[in-house]
Amino acid sequence: MMRPEHTPTLTSRLPEVGTTIFTVMSALAAEHGAVNLGQGFPDFDCDPALPAQVSQAMADGLNQYPPMAGIPALRQAVADKIAALYGRRYDAEREITITAGATQAILTAILAVVHPGDEVIVLDPCYDSYVPNIALAGGVAVRVPLAMPDFRPDLAAIARAITPRTRALIINSPHNPSATVWTRAELDGLADLLAPTEVLLISDEVYEHMVYDGRPHLSASGHPGLAPRAFVVSSFGKTFHVTGWKVGTVAAPSALTAEFRKVHQFNVFTVNTPMQHGLARHLADPRPYRELPAFYQAKRDLFRAGLADTRLRLLQSEGSYFQCVDYSAVSSLGEIDFCRWLTTEIGVTAIPLSAFYRDGRDQGLARLCYAKRDETLRQALTRLARL
């Protein structure tokens, strides 16, 4: 006698997680032929030298497992780059790890240091992977709102949130979604705040080369009060316009890196070999990342100039490749409904800021991405001129 099929029931590790707003809005954009300024990825190609260098690595037979922490040449190139830009010399062998993108890097850092019941402070609004990562580690996310209306870090609120159970704090500068950039005074204040504690820092710096108006990126790796307690995360995908390659880095003191690699070796083990060799060769020339601020600032300025002719109110865009807008002069719809309407009726897709908050708070704000070809931005601006 045949038994009926039976799939065992299970209790979800992430019961509150569903399909992301990015997937939903991108599908809606495709359905309606909208210009998709929702998801944060370029619609232009990378430097052709980079895939050529990867192809050469493949042709050279560099196709087997690399060392778990990353090939020595790439780790050394990353260490040299950090030293040149931010003034701290990490040991390439013991303090630099190549990861399968920044998202894996952040998850791995959290799994390495957070034990069940530990608290991790996140600053709302925040990138959507942080809180699920904390949940997977059995930790408790403690949300501290950024100070409005400018999305600045509220050091007094962070201080109030620290308890004996606080294990780590996650910061992100340049910030997604608000496009704000931490100042030296804010980093100094954070260092003073954390100095008497054992709280670790996870510094998400994937947009490090997208800071504008002549301002430098201030990395936690370059701050003597923060670097000794920090995992500093960066992304080749963001820097070199190859988001689909999913290759990132983590720089951390050797004691932290040792624990990080214990988890890394069992959740990823290692990262695509020929891409690592191609990236190592590409980093020999610093011009591509040194020229990136001017490249993206030109796109930001083009986009902001066009948006100034609409009824959308522009928030600051100090860094990253995002522009947030206040649409209250255009519509009284909630953020999700407004972004759906903008996609279906105007033909431009944005992301509601409420997607970056746990409580889905509605402030009449939407996020647009300008990491697009100039002709894509002009097409979007022509449609947005109807607002």
Provide the pLDDT confidence category of residue 109 given band limits of 50, 70 and 90. very high
Judged by DSSP in three states, 197 sits in: coil
Q: Give the tens place of pLDDT for each residue, 39-54.
A: 888 999 999 999 999 9
Confidence of residue 238 (pLDDT cuts 50, 70, 90): very high
Phi, psi angle pair for 230, to nearest 5°: -115, 140
Percent of the chain with pLDDT over 70: 100
Cα–Cα distance list, 64 to 61, 127, 270 (Å) = 8, 34, 11
pLDDT, residue 7, reads 92
Q: Let me know: does 336 contact 357? Beta carbons within 8 Å.
A: no
Q: Is residue 221's pLDDT more than 90?
A: yes
- Residue 193 phi, psi (nearest 5): -65, -40
Section 114-127 average pLDDT: 97
**Radius of gyration in angstroms for the set of CA atoms belonging to the chain, rounded to a whole number:** 21
pLDDT at 330 over 80: yes
Question: Cα 141 vs. chain centroid, distance in angstroms?
Answer: 18
Is pLDDT above 90 for 273? yes
The whole-number average pLDDT for the span 120-124 is 98
Q: Note the pLDDT tens digit of each residue in 178-220.
A: 999 999 999 999 999 999 999 999 999 999 999 999 999 999 9
Residue ranges and CATH numbers for the domains of the chain are 21-40+290-384 (3.90.1150.10), 49-285 (3.40.640.10)
**Which of the four pLDDT bands, split at 50, 70 and 90, describes residue 3?**
confident
Give the mean pLDDT of the chain.
96
Lowest mean pLDDT among 3-12, 81-90, 255-264: 3-12
